[in-house]
Amino acid sequence: MSAFLELFSSVPRQGPGLAKDVAWAVAQAGAEVASRVCDAGCGTGSDTEALLAAMPEAQVMACDKDATFLEAAQTRLNGPPRVRVGPGDLAALNDLPEAPFDFIWCAGAIYFLGTVKGLRDFRKALKAGGAVAFSAPVYFKSGASAGARAFWMDVPVPTQGELRAEVAEAGYELIADRPLSNAAWSALYTPLKAEIARRRGEGASEEMEGVMAAMEQEMALWSRVKLETGYQLVVARAK
């Protein structure tokens, strides 16, 4: 297993977010009564319990492409009969036996496909009138600084307006959107800092030390650029 996967499978979340973000998105979509739900790119299942709580009637399929994360999610979610954890590709959610879904939740993962392609792929796995909620990187204003661009490793990132245009281009109606809060980032970074300190105390491998140092740089950079970039949480319905 790579040091990256080892480190990230030992913390509660792999991207920013809070249970109350899940609840907000579900309420915006009017999805409290959903029966079929997908947590797409679930990682270690950070949001799956919040999805179960927000949608008391729902069967939740939590899928990811990574076996290490799925193992951690399975251990964490062992118990509730309303969840199945298993492999699944974001680009082919329609192949899952639980599809089509009333609601697809995708925290910090759609950008692996590109938002327009990802939303078009999700549409094939949605019931008529179904909704999606996803979080994705954005710049809060145009003309991002070198630091903000470096935070995303110079991968192209849209402004909030450009992300809204991508949602429309993919054939979705925007229901609501808002940036993730600093508390959502703390939910990712605070346990990560503690895990890094714990592993250093025990003596980490050279590879692990490299990954941990890179994460410390990312966290330091985030505190400098958080006013100009972050994640946008988007709730939308297929037209």
Ligand X SMILES: C[S@@+](CC[C@H](N)C(=O)[O-])C[C@H]1O[C@@H](n2cnc3c(N)ncnc32)[C@H](O)[C@@H]1O
Greatest Cα pair distance, the chain, in angstroms, is 53
Pair type for strands 229-238 and 172-179: antiparallel
Distance of CA 96 to the CA centre of its chain: 19
**Is residue 185 involved in binding ligand X (CB under 6 A)?**
no
Site membership for ligand X, residue 21 (CB under 6 A): no
> Mask: binding to ligand X, 84-123, rule CB under 6 A, as x and -?
-----xxx---------------xxx--x-----------
41 or 130, CB closer to ligand X? 41
Q: Which is nearer to ligand X, 65 or 141 (CB)?
A: 65
Determine, following the binding rule CB under 6 A, whether residue 166 of this chain makes contact with ligand X.
no
Residue 14, interface with ligand X (CB under 6 A)? yes
In this structure, are residues 104 and 38 in contact, taking their beta carbons and an 8 Å threshold? yes
The encoded tokens of residue 132 equal 């999606």
Q: Which stretch binds ligand X (CB under 6 A): 14-22, 77-85, 124-132, 218-226?
A: 14-22
Q: Scanning the structure block, which residue is given the tokens 């329609």?
A: 94
Other C-beta atoms within 10 Å of 127: how many?
15
Contact between 42 and ligand X by CB under 6 A: the answer reads yes
Q: What is the number of alpha carbons within 13 Å of residue 149 lying toward its C-beta?
A: 7
Q: Which is nearer to ligand X, 42 or 204 (CB)?
A: 42
Would you give the distance in Å from CA 95 to the centre of its chain? 20
| Of 15 and 130, CB closest to ligand X | 15
Which residue lies nearest ligand X, judged by its C-beta?
A: 43
Please select the residue that binds ligand X; options are 7, 9, 17, 22, rule is CB under 6 A: 17
Helix ranges (H only) for 113-159 are: 115-123, 146-151
46 makes contact with ligand X (CB under 6 A) = yes
> How near is the Cβ of 106 to ligand X at its closest, in Å?
7
Between 29 and 50, whose beta carbon lies closer to ligand X? Answer: 50
Nearest to 77 by CA among 40, 44, 104, 103: 44
- With contacts defined by CB under 6 A, how many residues of the chain interact with ligand X? 20
Judged by CB under 6 A, the residue of 55, 69, 148, 185 near ligand X is 69
Q: Which residue has the tokens 């947590």?
A: 39
For residues 63 and 87, the answer to whether their CB atoms sit within 8 Å is yes
Task: Name the residues that contact ligand X, by CB under 6 A.
Answer: 13-15, 17, 41-43, 46-47, 64-66, 69, 89-91, 107-109, 112
